[in-house]
Each structure stands twice: as C-alpha cells, then as structure tokens.
Amino acid sequence: MDFQNSLEFAKQLDAQDPLAKYRNEFHFPQVNGKNVIYFTGNSLGLQPKRTQKFVDDVMQDWRELGVEGHFYAEKPWWDYHERLAEGLAKIVGAKKEEVSVMNTLTVNLHLLMVSFYRPKGKRIKILCEEKAFPSDQYMLQSQARFHGFDPDEVIVEVKKREGEHFWRTEDILDKINEVGEELALVLMGGVNYYNGQVLDMEAITQTGKAFGAKVGWDLAHGVGNIKLDLHDWGADFAAWCSYKYMNSGPGNASGVYVHESYLDQKDIPRFEGWWGTKKETRFLMQPEFDPIETADAWQLSNPPILSVAPYLASLELFDEVGMDALIEKQQLIVAYLEFILGEIDKEVDSSFEIITPKERGCQLSVFLHGEGRPLFDYLMTNGVITDWREPNVIRLAAAPFYCSYSDMYNFGQILKKGILGK
C-alpha cells in the first residue's frame, strides 16, 4: 500500500478498518480534555468498558451469597478460572488442558522451573538472551544459586552482534549447538521487551529439544500480540502476564502453558497445593496429592476471583475478534507508524533509528538521536502516552484493539512540533 502522511488518508484507513468499532470498547485517559494517543499497551493495556460488569458481578455475588458464591454464583468461584482456558488456548496455540491461570508471571516461571530445570551431571546450563528483562535475570540467577551453582558459570547469554540492536536466529542456534549436552534449559523472552523483536521460537524450541534440553518461554510481550503455536512447536512450558496486550488490569493474574506430555506424570517434580488436586477429591481433605490431569495441577491456591474477572472480560473481546484479525490490523498500522516516523524524520533536523527488526509485533522501539528526555516530556504533556528507556529510546506499541490510523498521523505532527519547538 502506498501510504500518505495526511489526516485525510489516515481517516480513510480508519473508515475501512473492520476493527474500528472496538476502539469504543475501551476507556481512554484524557489530557487537556481529549483522549490520549496511547502507545503503552506493551506495559499496561487500556481498560475494556465491559470489565466493570464482570467485577461488579463478583462483588454482588460476594455481597449476596457470601461463601456460597464458590458454588452458587452465576459463575461459581471454584471453577471460575476454567472459563479462561479455552480462549487462552486459542491465543497461545495450545490445547485447552495445557493452559491455566494462576499467580503472577515471575512466580509462575519459578514454579515451572521446579519442574523443568532439573540439573544433573554435566547438564546444568541455562541459555537466555543478554539483558533479558530484569525479573527474568533475577529469577534465573536465584534458581542457579538455589541449586548450588554460580550463576556466572551456569547462565549462558546469547549476545547481539557488535553494532546491531537485534539477535540473529543463527547466533542463538549456534550457541545451543556450542553448549550442547551441557544445556539443561532454554528460557528466553519470545518478544523482547526493549527492542520489540519476535524471536524464531519454533526454530529455537526444536533445536533446544534436539539437544535434550527443556525449552520454555516468557511471553509477557507475546500473548495477545503475535501468532503463537506453543503446542505444535513442542515448547515444554511458557508463562505470561495478562495486563499488557491482554488488558486485564495492573499486576493481574498470569497464564501458564504446560505441554500435554507432562500432564499425566504424577511423579513430575513440582511444588504442590490443594487447588492442583482433582475437583472430585479436593474437599475430601485427603493427605495425598491427587493431581488434576491438566495444567491446573500446577496451581497452588484458589485463584483471586477479583483479579481473574477482568481477564475473562478481556478474553471475551479476543473471542469476538480473533487473533488473525488483530494481527492483520497490527501489521498495517505498525507499517503506517513506521512510514509516519520516516516522513517526520525527513522534515526535522534530527535522526530517528528504528531498532525493531521486521520480525515484530505491535511495538516499534525508536532511537531519537540528538533528542533527550524533554522531547518525551513534551509528548506526554501533549497527550501522547509512550514509554522512555535510557539513553534516548521511546517504545511505541500500536495496539490494534484501540489505536487508530489517525492516532499515528496525529502523533507524527505532535512529534514534529516537539522537535522543531525546542
């Protein structure tokens, strides 16, 4: 498509957008009495308007039924989380029984590593990307120390090439080959939080498993953003948060995936709690753990219903639209954003460098060479909610549910004014 840097053209794209009506399904913050241009769905998605009813229903059931809400609410609490499994399975490319909702992201990664990081003999090493999200780094380091290892000797980082801002798939595969039979686990961010790169998860998973390693994925920036086929790729496990592209609310419940080949292993190492026991025996208070034959077996405690309710509200939207339609719009709107950045770059005495490769989802990360924090502050005070990363990178996530093509054009005009007015 031949793009144009004009409001008229952007409005034409909006008029042709089959998802345009879903913009009205979300609450927007306002600056100076106007809806903001919201680019931080990669950090916290906007609130769906229907979320309030889902939460209110739980509050009403609690008020009117008390403890009996566990069994007699319209959506009984004791199996409330099960309502999310089918929708999430579609989004992550899994079978329904391979998916569960519990805890928060780093907690779940720790719990999954109990099962899937089992160092033995010379097979003790963990492969990850350099400068992974800090919480992942802390988790891996603490897991290494827990097993009695020096993290510097156990954790192997795949580095980017000198002068490049992204990882090359061949370098990751070569590193797996180099570590070879010493490799116990591959655990990486499927979509990098900083540069927005989507890794070749299929190739990395298959190569890691070919060397006898377990392979897991942190999909905080992947779920609800890109096409995933965790089951068909053969990934052993994955976990993700729900408050970014899934729009479930700040710090909300996490999702997990465990490949079906592990679901019938009663003796698999894991930390266990009573919500992982079979529903038929859970309230018999038996002394022996009787695991559910799904990913729910990794649950420890009954889920926080007031956290899960907004997740269910958001999943209803995803069920209506489907990932294919979201990704189709995502590809077009991100391409238009890239075009707008290029056009503005020509008009100002500055230099933008998009460090996100073509393997991407919603996010473009942009080096604003010659600019500093004042430009970010200008954007924020003029209704563009974006994200600043040192030294001078802004992350722009054009989430297809609620971002419009007019947003992309208007952002370009505000960006130009912010640079020319300094």
The CATH number that applies at residue 148 is 3.40.640.10
The answer to whether residues 283 and 383 belong to one domain is no
Predicted confidence (pLDDT) per residue in 29-64, tens digit: 999 999 999 999 999 999 999 999 999 999 999 999
The answer to whether residues 112 and 245 belong to one domain is yes
The answer to whether residues 299 and 330 belong to one domain is no
The answer to whether residues 237 and 359 belong to one domain is no
The answer to whether residues 259 and 385 belong to one domain is no
**355 inside domain:** yes
Domain's final residue, options 261, 294, 321: 321
Q: What is the DSSP letter of 40?
A: B
**44 inside domain:** no
Predicted confidence (pLDDT) per residue in 72-94, tens digit: 999 999 999 999 999 999 999 99
Total tally of structural domains belonging to the chain: 2
> Is there a contact between 271 and 116 (Cβ–Cβ < 8 Å)?
no
- Tokens linked to 398: 């054009």
Return the CATH number at 367. 3.90.1150.10
The kind and range of the H/E element at 387 are strand 387-389
Rounded Cα gap, residues 385 and 40, in angstroms: 7
The answer to whether residues 310 and 340 belong to one domain is no
Domain's final residue, options 321, 349, 380: 321
Question: Residue 185 forms beta bridges with which residues?
Answer: 126, 214
**157 inside domain:** yes
In one-letter notation, the amino acid at residue 16 is Q
**63 inside domain:** yes
The answer to whether residues 157 and 296 belong to one domain is yes
Domain that holds residue 397: 7-35+322-420
Predicted confidence (pLDDT) per residue in 149-161, tens digit: 999 999 999 999 9
**137 inside domain:** yes
- Tokens linked to 32: 């100076």
Pairing mode, if any, of strands 34-35 and 30-31?
antiparallel
Domain's final residue, options 299, 321, 343: 321
The answer to whether residues 260 and 367 belong to one domain is no
The answer to whether residues 165 and 18 belong to one domain is no
The answer to whether residues 306 and 336 belong to one domain is no
pLDDT value of residue 422: 60
pLDDT band for 390, please (50, 70, 90 cuts): confident
pTM score above 0.85: yes
**40 inside domain:** no
The answer to whether residues 292 and 345 belong to one domain is no
Q: Say yes or no to pLDDT of 4 above 90.
A: yes
In one-letter notation, the amino acid at residue 189 is G
**1 inside domain:** no
Q: Rounded mean pLDDT of 5-33?
A: 98
The answer to whether residues 307 and 327 belong to one domain is no
**43 inside domain:** no
Predicted confidence (pLDDT) per residue in 307-364, tens digit: 999 999 999 999 999 999 999 999 999 999 999 999 999 999 778 899 999 999 999 9
The kind and range of the H/E element at 257 are strand 254-258
DSSP string for 45-95:
PPPBTTHHHHHHHHHHHHHHHGGGHHHHSSS-GGGGGGGGHHHHHHHHT--
